[in-house]
Amino acid sequence: MSNPKTANVVIIGGGISGVAIAWNLAKKGVKDIVILEKKTVCSGATGRCGAGIRMQWGAEQNCLLAKMSVEFFENANEILEYDRDVEFDQGGYLIVAGNEKENEQFKKNIALQNSLGIPSKHLTPQEAKEIVPHMDETQIVGATFCQKDGHLNPFNTTEAFAKAAERLGVKILKKTKVTGIDVKNDKIVGVETTGGYISTPLVINAAGGWAQEVGKMAGVDLPLYSERHQILVTEPVELIQDPMYMAFSLNIYIQQTPHGSFIMGRSNPEEPRDLRQTSSWQFLHEMINTCTTLLPPLRKLNLVRQWAGLYNMTEDAQPIYGKVDNVEGFWLACGYSGHGFMLAPATGILLTEMILGEPLSIDITNLDLGRFERGELCFETSVV
């Protein structure tokens, strides 16, 4: 198969966002969509993420985006006509408060979430221990829990979108790297790749960790940076922990997957801003110290593997959705700040509505690129 020479839409990045946008556009009848992926589908942040899915957010907009996405994931196998299973396991999210201030904020979050139809609740440490019996409840002052949150298989979910998109004619060119974006008279006219030139009037930057680099190719300096986040996984054991266990104040999350292995990640506030994806022993040391304090029996598990992926960060830890005003045809779906995977269904729907000029299912116009210049940032504090 030779690569296409022209396309109506070129999506840069074969992660969850790229394939979700492509599928939504194709479903609405857009033809000749090409996804360019420098390695293989899911090889970037999507394939490296913790793959937790939650609706327990602090900002109303995120609650709504997450709710839309969870409702999609619940029916993803059917909607995407997937021949395998996206493995959506709604074991819940248990978010623990390490201090009273956090606990009070959580109570406000719960009120907001409940008002939006999200079935979360506040728990005492003892109630939390009933859900995760191996926790040391003396380490926490309270918790929140939502049974509808959970975990997905990120590889299968991305494949499900990719296959559904391909059935609608979307072309995914793997091992094809974008080397330049051709802009003439402030308009996108094409993309240069290692597989040849593709003429196109529309480019979507869904490059995750490399979104800043892609922006520069079109002459746009996006207010984004990337930083490494690390994860480890253990050998599978008998299923003992249903929900994701998360602590914002300690920057950690710990979850047992349906496969039996425990996946845990930790953010380092001092992580430098760059594109490294290397693993460090310091992460292991800190992660395991924290994990075994909170969930002591996990000390007996065997570490199998550790890895790192990139968070593509914005100043307010919120994504950038929408077009770039001074480069016609250049669209952004990046800057997820660590929660791009779980928002992907909403990303796909809303970007498509924006591009086709349709009314938006959820108003996300405030998440545009212009908010940084206007100084109208939309902070979200419930992040790891």
In the region spanning residues 26 to 45, those forming contacts with another protein, defined by CB under 8 A, are 40-43
Which tokens belong to 106?
């959580």
Of the listed pieces 211-219, 300-308, 323-331, 353-361, which binds another protein according to CB under 8 A? 300-308
Shortest Å distance, C-beta 300 to another protein:
7
Q: Does 235 bind another protein (CB under 8 A)?
A: yes
Q: Which is nearer to another protein, 46 or 109 (CB)?
A: 46
Distances (CA, A) of 67 to 226, 347, 374: 26, 12, 28
Q: Which is nearer to another protein, 210 or 225 (CB)?
A: 210
- Give the whole-angstrom CA distance, residue 330 versus residue 326: 9
- Give the whole-angstrom CA distance, residue 64 versus residue 81: 25
Asked if residue 125 lies in contact with residue 138, where contact means CB atoms within 8 angstroms, the answer is yes
Q: Any idea of the CA torsion for 279, 247, 244, 239, to the nearest 10 degrees?
A: 80
- Give the whole-angstrom CA distance, residue 67 versus residue 21: 18
Q: Does 18 bind another protein (CB under 8 A)?
A: no
Q: Does 268 bind another protein (CB under 8 A)?
A: no
Residues 6+ apart with CB under 8 A from 299: 288, 292
Query: Packing angle between helix 100-115 and helix 60-74, nearest 10 degrees?
Result: 60
Q: Does 2 bind another protein (CB under 8 A)?
A: no
Which tokens belong to 284?
């292991």
Q: Which is nearer to another protein, 214 or 308 (CB)?
A: 308
Q: Does 238 bind another protein (CB under 8 A)?
A: no
Q: Which is nearer to another protein, 2 or 126 (CB)?
A: 2
Q: Does 149 bind another protein (CB under 8 A)?
A: no
Sheet holding 330-334, edge to edge: 171-173, 33-36, 9-12, 203-205, 330-334, 320-323
Q: Does 155 bind another protein (CB under 8 A)?
A: yes
Instruction: Classify strands 320-323 and 330-334 as parallel, antiparallel or unpaired.
Output: antiparallel
Of the listed pieces 62-70, 93-101, 117-125, 305-313, which binds another protein according to CB under 8 A? 305-313
Let me know how long the chain is.
384
Q: Name beta bridge partners: 141.
A: none
Which tokens belong to 47?
């394939």
Q: Does 234 bind another protein (CB under 8 A)?
A: yes
- Give the whole-angstrom CA distance, residue 97 versus residue 240: 22
Asked if residue 98 lies in contact with residue 247, where contact means CB atoms within 8 angstroms, the answer is yes
Shortest Å distance, C-beta 201 to another protein:
29
Q: Does 263 bind another protein (CB under 8 A)?
A: no
Q: Does 360 bind another protein (CB under 8 A)?
A: no
In the region spanning residues 45 to 84, those forming contacts with another protein, defined by CB under 8 A, are 47
User: Would you give the binding string for another protein spanning residues 172-201, x where CB under 8 A is met?
Assistant: --x---------------------------
Q: Does 275 bind another protein (CB under 8 A)?
A: no
Size of the site for another protein (CB under 8 A): 31
Q: Any idea of the CA torsion for 313, 253, 263, 147, to the nearest 10 degrees?
A: -110
Instruction: By CB under 8 A, name the one of 170, 218, 298, 349 that touches another protein.
Output: 298
Q: Does 237 bind another protein (CB under 8 A)?
A: no
Shortest Å distance, C-beta 287 to another protein:
9
Q: Which residues bind another protein (CB under 8 A)?
A: 40-43, 47, 155-156, 159, 174, 234-235, 259, 279, 282, 284-286, 288-289, 291-292, 298-307
